[in-house]
Amino acid sequence: MFSKLKEGLAKTRKGIADKVDQVLKAYKKVDEELFDEIEEILITADAGVSTTMEIIKRLRDRAYERKISQTEEIKELLKEILIELLDMGKSHELNIEPAPAIILMVGVNGVGKTTSIGKIAYALKKDGKKVLLAAGDTFRAAAIDQLEIWGKRVDLDVVKHQEGADPAAVIFDAIQSAKARKYDVLICDTAGRLHNKKNLMNELGKVVKVIDREFSEANREILLVLDATTGQNALQQAKIFKEVTNISGIVLTKIDGTAKGGVVLAISNELNIPVKLVGVGEGLSDLQRFVPVDFVNALFDNDK
């Protein structure tokens, strides 16, 4: 697991850890110039300006408090601060115990939402859970087809209606089915149309109302899927979805495809939403649980 995470973070490592190492080698003493260099590295890796300022402030304050004079000690201090920033305790775990549980997946089209559903379902099934899928994105026939393909691939049933049906009706049927057949986890796809915030709010609002009314006993996750390759754009999407619904966690996909993995810092710090899963490759098992200490260690691990 760790080696796969390390491999998946190769591009971000080049953008952050390797550059930090170069800077620390180049500087003989801990001073403002050194902090400026680290600041620039973080901003370039899409950690965001306000998050970067927060990191640098903590780094500077602690370096002076602890009287750190050796530049190599700065790396361990930086790791400590990044772990702190990312770590939200127990909330990184999926809230699906005890059964039943419902996971509502939200996010714009093209971020890897349906693929994430397939991979989460695969992991839960492997874990011995009885899983049902619901095709709640009824606005695109392709979305329904794609979920069905995943259903076949991981050998799971999919509740669906025809294209253009009311998403809340699909979720209603899926909940009845999940209750009647005693499923442990119901995972629901939703439409990702961001161009009209009011529509998005209404659609998700109706779906959440159905869950409140029909499945109030279920543990609930509303997971926002974001594409790491979009960098700061992902942060803007997250801000909109946070206004629209009560996001409980983030699934960050395609981190292996970008040097902009620093966006995970911005998401955690600016939105205060825990990252729960991170996509480090194409394989079925490559959507991994997000463990802050592992993530930071993998990011700074230069051993080949």
Encode pLDDT of 74-126 as tens digits.
Answer: 999 999 999 999 998 878 999 999 999 999 999 998 899 999 999 999 999 99
Count how many domains the chain has: 1
φ/ψ of 95, rounded to 5, equals -85, 75
Helix or strand holding residue 259 (H, E) = none
Is 51 domain-assigned? no
Q: How would residue 195 be classed by pLDDT, with cut points 50, 70 and 90? A: low
Is 149 domain-assigned? yes
Q: Residue 29: pLDDT above 80?
A: yes
Please state, for a pLDDT cut of 90, what percent of the chain lies above it.
85
Is 219 domain-assigned? yes
For the chain, the C-alpha Rg in angstroms (whole number) is: 21
- 164 lies in which domain range? 96-247
Mean pLDDT of the chain: 94
Is 163 domain-assigned? yes
The residue among 230, 223, 233, 261 whose CA lies nearest residue 7 is 261
Q: What is the CATH number of the domain that holds 150?
A: 3.40.50.300
The residue among 182, 184, 245, 189 whose CA lies nearest residue 212 is 245
In whole angstroms, give the CA distance from residue 59 to residue 299. Answer: 18
